[in-house]
Amino acid sequence: MLRKDLRLELRSGESTLALLALSMLVLVVLVFALDAARVRSFDVAAGALWVAMVFSGMLGANRALLAERDNGAIRGLLLSPLDPGTLYAAKLAAALIFMVVAEVGAVILMVLFFNLEFDASIARLAPILALGAIGFSALATLLSAITGRTRGGDMLLPILAVPIFVPALIAGVKASAAALSGVPLDSMGQWLKIMVAFDVLFVTAGYLLFEHVVGED
Amino acid sequence: MSAPVVETHSLAKTYGLTPVLREVELRLMPGAGAFVIGGNGAGKSTLLRILAGLEAPSDGYALVFGQNTRKLAARYRRRIGVMAHQSFLYPNLTARENLEFYGELYSLADPRTSAEMWLERVGLADVADSRERTFSRGMEQRLSAARAMLSEPALLLLDEPFASLDHEGVEIIASLIRGAVEHGASVIATAHAILEIEGVDFAAYEISRGRLQPHLHKEEGRRGGRIRSLLGR
């Protein structure tokens, strides 16, 4: 399933290009709006990075399930012996891969636009961004299975996903700002615990609930 | 005596306030076939979707292989092949890749060989490496038939299998249905009018305003509502 999703993506390249373009757009707008290149601010850089991540994550999760709506392929999957939980895991993995690719691009752009250095603080961002990507992909994959069945579902996804993601988003921004300013990871335990709890909650909920939300009625 | 492959009891489906199926009673024994004939919106596709487990009935129940279709375990889903109005195929995958993907989903021993064999059977071997999105509606229908029959299921649910097909396509699908029946599969196929396939003796039902009843063909009515197949050769 994952191999098929990646093959479709490599063939079209639509999602990856759109995610990178969106990340770049968000960062450029925020850099100019906040005059951030002149005023070196870790808080603003972390905030901008997470805004780019959330937008690209929504696009990635939507795209991962969109291919299954063409020709009703999702029905073919539901009729097959495939366990719906496995289907969720495959879709989550695809969304996660797209989001990680977008994150790598967004981090490079953030360093360039916000006048930061490629040093150990960037490496410290990796586990924080990974936790954020897992949590947001898990949430957005579950929600896009619901919104994809409704007219205007693309519009509905951010309305549902962003408010639910707020606790992990706050924790991610705070932890990222701390990491960029040189604070070691063990001093941000409280933020990381919130993110881990969010990930566990939504990966489990997605795995258990997916068959109920992706069906036809 | 063997148990029926399909059995429905007082099956009903309502969308909002509109009843689509009412009190449907259907029984299909292993190796038997049934044509369900009806006009647009008569409830044919809804009936097949319920039997496939894609939709829940509003009232009554449907059993397939003795299992309620609301909770069909993977080992029972594996034994059902469905051909619907939508092809369930991926436009950006080639015909071969589509069949290989479904072959892997159904854990076939050799998905590649199975895909090639079925592409040959539906007359698409020459375009095996063309993307599905380049196919005509008729070619898509044939590939969809190959997808549905790839795992050689014990029950085939075919929703208007001859729609959009030219004469050659009709011959191919008719021959596949005949082959499936000869191998002991049970088949339910829907259509707007009576379908008659050489060598296949299916029971015929008519569905009208959601009610299913035996169809009495003009000439065949004397034989208790069964039709003899004529189409194909």
Chain B positions in Cβ-Cβ contact with residue A83 (cut-off 8 Å): 74
Rounded Cα distance between A166 and B102, Å, is 39
3-state secondary structure of B15: strand
B15 CB near a chain A CB, below 8 Å? no
Long-range CB pairs of A26-31 (<8 Å, 24+ gap) are A26/A51, A26/A52, A26/A55, A27/A52, A27/A106, A27/A109, A27/A110, A27/A113, A28/A113, A31/A113, A31/A114
The structure's pTM equals: 0.84
> Which pair of tokens denotes residue A55?
């937008």
ipTM comes to 0.85
What are the tens digits of pLDDT across the range B44-72?
999 999 999 989 999 999 999 999 998 88
Q: pLDDT value at position A216?
A: 58
Average pLDDT over chain A, rounded to an integer: 85
Closest CB from B55, B87, B101 relative to A71 = B87
How many Å lie between the alpha carbon of B175 and the closest alpha carbon of chain A? 23
Query: Measured between CB atoms, does A80 come within 8 Å of chain B?
Result: yes
- As a whole number of angstroms, the distance between CA B215 and CA A182 comes to 79
Which amino acid belongs to residue B139?
M
Higher pLDDT, B98 or B225: B98
Contact criterion met (CB < 8 Å) for A75 and B101: no
Quote the CA–CA distance of B187 and B106 in Å, as a whole number: 20
Phi-psi region of A156 (alpha: psi -120 to 50; beta: other; left: phi over 0): alpha
Residues of chain A positioned with their CB less than 8 A from the CB of B82: 75-76, 79
Q: How high is the pLDDT of residue A36?
A: 65
Angle between helices A42-69 and A120-147 (to 10 degrees): 40
Q: pLDDT tens, B140-169?
A: 999 999 999 999 999 999 999 988 888 899
Q: Please state whether beta strands B67-68 and B80-83 pair in parallel, antiparallel, or not at all (unpaired).
A: unpaired
Taking 90 as the threshold, does the pLDDT of residue B99 lie above it?
yes
A23/B227 Cα distance (integer angstroms): 63
